[in-house]
Each structure stands twice: as structure tokens, then as C-alpha cells.
Structure 1
Amino acid sequence: MNQNTERKRPPPLKVLSGQLRTAENRGTTDGGDGCVIKLKKGRTLQASLVWMQGTVLEVHLDRNTVLLIDETGTFAVQGVNNIPRGKPCLSQGKYVMVMGVILALSPEPVVRAVKMADLSELAAVHRRMWKLEVEELQQLLA
């Protein structure tokens, strides 16, 4: 992807893994051009850069991946070894934020990480608020 394409990319859309799992590909079969997220009342949103949160289930540094889970299911994050200051996020049980580009939707969503942050210190608050944040942003954008 060239620099001009990166600049034109819209800001990240807050999503749940379950929404990606049921989304429709936009253009390619692997989700590389993003997807269309289905919302309530027949509305949709386009997404290629997403913001997700979840708990680290598995860390596979040899494969440059982690497996996360949110309240709607699991999702994989690739490219974790390349994230500046991402190492503190890479332990089982941590609650983290991931911003990344959608690589695949099914059978499990896969995101290539652009940024990661450890939210474990206030995990209970972040976890409770996340679904509400996702819903509020999506309602504003739809």
C-alpha cells in the first residue's frame, strides 16, 4: 500500500469481533479492501481501519500474532512484533486496545496491528464501557 492510500484512509471505526464476523467484504475475498458492517435498522458502515479491545488469550511471537477475545468472540491480531511499545501488551490475560487494518473476516476476524496499548490497569471500566462506546460511535456515523 502506498503512502497516498494510507493518508486517504478514514479514521478507525470502533467495532466488536462479532460485527466483523458477519460483515461483507468490500472488493476482495480476504477483507483487504475493508468491509461493510451491518448495523440495526438496515444501516451499514464501511470500515478498513478498526479499533478493537479485548483480552489476550494466546500469544504466538514466533508467528507474530496474538489471539484476543471480546464479548462477541475471538479475533486474531498479526504484526504484533512490529508495534512500538507493543511488547507490554503481549501477555495472556492483559486487556488491550488494538488499532489495525482488516485482513480477513471469516472464519475469524484478522487485523494487522498498527497500534496497541495496554488497558489492563482499568480493565473493568474499559470492558464495561467498550460496547457502549462502539454503539454510540456507530450511531453517530450511520
Structure 2
Amino acid sequence: MYQLDKTTVAKKRSPPVKVLSSQLRTAQNQGAAGSGDCWVIRPGRGRSLPVSLVWMQGTVMEAPLDTNTVLLMDETGTFAVQGVNNVPKGKPCLSQGKYVMVMGVIQAVSPEPVIRAVKMADLSALAALHRRMWKLEVEELQQVLT
């Protein structure tokens, strides 16, 4: 019979949680000895939600060609995305003004949220619709999860 070892189980992550940059700014690290593996956000009155893999959307503010990091902005503030050169098809969707989706692992929350990209997609074709719906999508998912 096949048995999972503890390292396999420990590395398993929950699905990405939709979050806003303002929520990450106030997140608290709950990882072992400050490891950063698990953060807790407070989506509402008395509720808490553990997150490590996040789904964020925003407008590209800065995308220097010579770096592996870009700056995005959602309706609540800015956040940095690292590792964009390592994401398949990630770099082509990163020009100033484009609206993009990023899934990634939280690296830091203060003074500005930083995530390491795992997946990226250009949502610019329907940017107006995505922008209008984003905050509602975030709120709805977080209500379901808490």
C-alpha cells in the first residue's frame, strides 16, 4: 500500500484565495518561526482566513525589461510580483496599463505586499468587466471560505 511521507503532505498547498492588496498589508504571519508559509487575513468582523497561495488582479504600473519584478495596482493599493521571467507566457502580458491576473505565493506583506508568481494571464480584453467584478468576487469567495 502506498504511504505519503510527511514532506509530501507538508508541501501540499490549499487552492489560491482571491485577495486585495490592502488585505495582505494587514496579514499576520502564522508560519513556523516566521517561515512565511501561512498568513492570516481578516476579511470581516471576527473572521480570519489562512492563505499562502493567492489570486490577485491589477493594472501593470511598472514593468522594467531588465528585472524579474513588476509593480501592479488593484483598487486598494500596489503590490509587487517577483519571478515573472519564470512564468510561461508571463512576460508578454506585462506592459504598462495592461490588466492582469496573477497567482502566486506570498513572500512579504509589509511595507508592500510581494508575491512570487506561479501563473499569470492578460485580462486586458475585458478589463472593464474584470475590474468591476473583482472586489465582488473577492468578497464572495472569502465569505464562502470563512
TM-score range, shorter chain: over 0.9
Aligned to 1:121: 125
Aligned to 1:98: 102
How many aligned residue pairs are there? 139
Deviation for aligned residue 1:4: 5.1
SS in 2 for 1:107: coil
For 2:50, give the aligned amino acid.
Q
Distance 1:18 1:85 in 2: 27
Q: Is the 8 A contact 1:61 1:81 kept in 2?
A: no
Which runs of at least 4 in structure 1 moved beyond 6 Å after TM superposition?
none
For 1:20, which of 21, 24, 27 is the aligned residue? 24
Aligned to 1:107: 111
Distance 2:85 2:127 in 1: 23
Q: Is the 8 A contact 1:15 1:51 kept in 2?
A: yes
Pairing 1:60-139 to 2, within 5 Å after superposition: 60-139=64-143
> Which string of whole-angstrom CA distances, capped at 9 and with x for unpartnered residues, describes residues 14-60 of structure 1?
0000000011111254x721310012111000000000000000013
SS in 2 for 1:44: strand
- 1:80/1:139 CA distance change after superposition, 3 Å: same
Which runs of no fewer than 5 residues in structure 2 stay unpaired?
1-6
SS in 2 for 1:60: coil
Distance 1:114 1:138 in 2: 21
